[in-house]
Amino acid sequence: MCDYDSLAARIHALTEGETDVVALMATMACEIHHSDDRFDWTGFYRVTEPELLKIGPYQGGHGCLVIPFSRGVCGAAARSGQPQIVSDVDAFPGHIACSSSTRSELVLPVFDREKRVIGVLDIDSNQKDAFTEEDAARLGQILAGVFGQIGASQAA
């Protein structure tokens, strides 16, 4: 299991004072990805135009380049503003299979300080039932601590 206290401390130390969203996402994707063996693919999809996510910094194999808000687990998180914990991706209606090895998925919306969704954090696992509510809550706290300081002009 992930040591979230240690992860949060590392991310805080590495990102303190940084306001560039892509730099923050790249650093966080790397730190999160290497923090737990369950995490097979870890990355961000950024809101680049209304109702559209495009791939951002990530760790792991190739991801999907573009995901509309209307499709998949990432789209559901962006559309609803709620974390998505999918224990079996084959059972999720409309799941987008970017990688055939993905068995479960955790997607968290990323909000700026105005509480607007600026992207999503997507974590895939090659294990079924890999993610818990605690994973979602602790990663959500880390995201809020980093991106909750970013204003609208910085997130664009």
Here the CATH number for the domain that contains residue 106 is 3.30.450.40
Q: Which residues of 115-125 are buried (b: 16+ CB within 10 A; e: fewer)?
A: eebbbbbbbbb
* Residue 106 domain flag: yes
- The answer to whether the beta carbons of residues 58 and 42 sit under 8 Å apart is yes
| Beta pairing class for 66-68 and 52-59 | antiparallel
pLDDT at 90: 75
Range of the structural domain that residue 106 is part of: 4-150
Q: 104: alpha, beta or left, given left = phi > 0 and alpha = psi -120 to 50?
A: beta
- What letter represents residue 10's amino acid? R
* Residue 129 domain flag: yes
How far the first Cα of the chain sits from its last, in Å, is 34
Residue given tokens 């880390």 in the structure block:
142
Give the other-Cβ count within 10 Å of 56's Cβ: 22
pLDDT at 66: 95
Could you list the pLDDT tens digit for every one of the 156 residues in the chain?
Answer: 899 999 999 999 999 999 999 999 999 999 999 999 999 999 999 999 999 999 999 999 988 899 999 999 999 999 999 999 999 877 776 666 676 677 899 999 999 999 999 999 999 999 999 999 999 999 999 999 999 888 766 666
Give the other-Cβ count within 10 Å of 48's Cβ: 14
What does the pLDDT look like over 133-149, one tens digit per residue? Answer: 999 999 999 999 999 88
Q: What is the pTM of this model?
A: 0.93
* Residue 156 domain flag: no
- The answer to whether the beta carbons of residues 127 and 89 sit under 8 Å apart is no
Domain count across the chain: 1
* Residue 155 domain flag: no
Q: Which two three-digit tokens encode residue 49?
A: 């135009």
pLDDT at 149: 82
* Residue 117 domain flag: yes
